[in-house]
Structure 1
Amino acid sequence: MNKNIKWHQTAVTKHDRELLKNHKGLILWFTGLSGSGKSTIANALEKKLYEKKIHTYLLDGDNIRYGINNNLGFSLEDRKENIRRLTEIGKLFVDAGIVVCVASISPFKDDRDAARNKFKDEQFIEIYVKCSIEECEKRDPKGLYKKARTGEIKEFTGVSQQYEEPVNPEIIVDTTNQSLENSVEQIMLFIQKRLHFRKER
C-alpha cells in the first residue's frame, strides 16, 4: 500500500450506526455448489429479516459479476480476487451496521478463511448450503451442469474444478431434503442472539 495513504477516522462509529439501527452488523456467508439453493435461501432470509425491521443487503455472486466483478473469469486467480472483493464490500456493509448476505460458491477453504479473518469474532457466520452433486445436477436451474459436462463451460465447480467443503461452519443447511422454510428458520434461530445488543448496552 502507498505510504502516503492514511486511514481517516470518522466521527460516526460502527457502534453509533448499530445503535441507530438497534441491531448489530453481521456478514452471513452462504457457500455451496451451484444449484444448492444459496441465493434462494439468502433471498428468503433477507425478506424475513426485512419484515423484522432488520437492515439488510444481499450480495449475490452472479449479480456482482454484472458490475464490480465483470472483469473476472473463473480461473483460480480470478475466483480468489472475486472473494476478496466480495469480502471488502461486505466489510463496508458490516461497518454500516447492516446484515449483509453473501451468496457465492466460494469453493476454496483458504479464500473463505481469508474472508473470515477480515471480521471480528461473531461478525462472520459461514453457512454451508449442502446439497449432493447429483441433486444439484438434477435441478440445474441455469443449465450450467449440462454445459460443463459437454465441455462448453470450463473450470466449473463440482465438475472440472474442486469444491472444498467447509470444515467447521457455524450453520449447515442440507437442501437435498430440507425445505426452504426450515432452512430459513434454522438460520434465523442461530443469528438472533448475535443480532441484538446485551441488555446493559
Structure 2
Amino acid sequence: MTTTARAQGATIWLTGLPSAGKTTIARLLGDRLKGGGLRTEVLDGDEIRRFLSAGLGFSKEDRDTNVRRIGLVSEVLARNGVLSVVPVIAPYAVSRAAVRERHQRNGVPYIEVHVATPVEVCSERDVKGLYARQAAGELSGLTGVDDPYEPPVDPDLVLRTQEQTPRQSADAVYALLVERGLV
C-alpha cells in the first residue's frame, strides 16, 4: 500500500511501567510501518513532556493533562491518515479511557497495547536510572513503585516483554494492525 493510497490513520497506544520497553517497541514498529510506505509518527512520551507539556509536574492532575494532550495530538494525526504510535506510561485508567472515548467519538481507530513487564524486570533494565534514583531516595513518585499504575483491564493486546524480544513484540503489534485492517 502506498502512502497516497492510505486514507485511514489510527492510534497505537503503548502503556506500561518505566523501562517496560514501550519506546523500543514503538520505534521498531514505526520503522516497519514507515518502511512499508505508511505515514507514521512515533509520539515519544518523554519528548512530548519536554515540549508540549513543559511545565507540568507529576501530580495526578498533571499526568492526566499530559495524557489527554498526547491523546489529542495522536487523534488529530490519525484523523489525517497517520498511524500514530504512542509509547507513554499513562498510569491512570481514567485518562486512558478519556483518550479512547475521544477517538471513538470521532470515528478514529484506537489500539491499546499493555506492555506488561513486571516491575522487577523494569527495575533491572532501568534504562533512565529512575529505579536506582528512587531506591537511593533521590526520587519519589515513581510509577509502579511509590506511585500507582493502573493496568488496562481490557487492552487490545498484552505484551510480556520478559518473554520475547523487542522485535517479536513489535511484530505482534503489527500482526494486530493487519488483523484489524489498519495496514
TM-score (norm 1): 0.85
Question: Residues 22-65 of structure 1, C-alpha deviation per residue, up to 9 Å, x if partnerless?
Answer: 24200000000000000000000000001111100011110112
1:85 to 57, 69, 85: 69
Q: Structure 1 segments of 4 or more deviating over 3 A?
A: none
Matched residue SS, 1:176 = helix
Distance, in Å, in 1 between the alignment partners of 2:170 and 2:108 is 19
> Which amino acid is the alignment partner of residue 172 of structure 1?
V
Aligned to 1:162: 148
Q: Give runs of aligned pairs for residues 163-178 of structure 1, distance below 5 A.
A: 163-178=149-164
Q: Greater CA deviation, 120-129 or 109-118?
A: 120-129
Aligned to 2:81: 97
Q: Does 1:51 align with 2:35?
A: yes
> Which amino acid is the alignment partner of residue 86 of structure 2?
V
> Which amino acid is the alignment partner of residue 67 of structure 1?
F
Please report the RMSD computed on the Cα atoms of aligned residues, expressed in angstroms: 1.6
Q: Does 1:124 align with 2:142?
A: no
> Which amino acid is the alignment partner of residue 50 of structure 2?
Y
Aligned to 1:14: none
Distance, in Å, in 1 between the alignment partners of 2:98 and 2:37 is 31
2:6 to 22, 33, 47: 22
Which ranges in structure 2 are unaligned for 5 or more consecutive residues?
A: none
The number of aligned residues is 179
8 Å Cα contact 2:75/2:108 also seen in 1 = no
Which structure dedicates a bigger proportion of its chain to helix? Answer: 2
Q: Give 1:191 deviation, angstroms.
A: 0.4
TM-score (norm 2): 0.93
Distance, in Å, in 2 between the alignment partners of 1:117 and 1:110 is 10
8 Å Cα contact 1:21/1:97 also seen in 2 = no
Which ranges in structure 1 are unaligned for 5 or more consecutive residues?
A: 1-18, 197-201
Sort the Cα spacing of 1:122 and 1:174 in 2 relative to 1 into closer, same or farther, 3 A: farther
1:151 to 120, 127, 137: 137
Matched residue SS, 1:145 = helix
8 Å Cα contact 2:9/2:82 also seen in 1 = yes
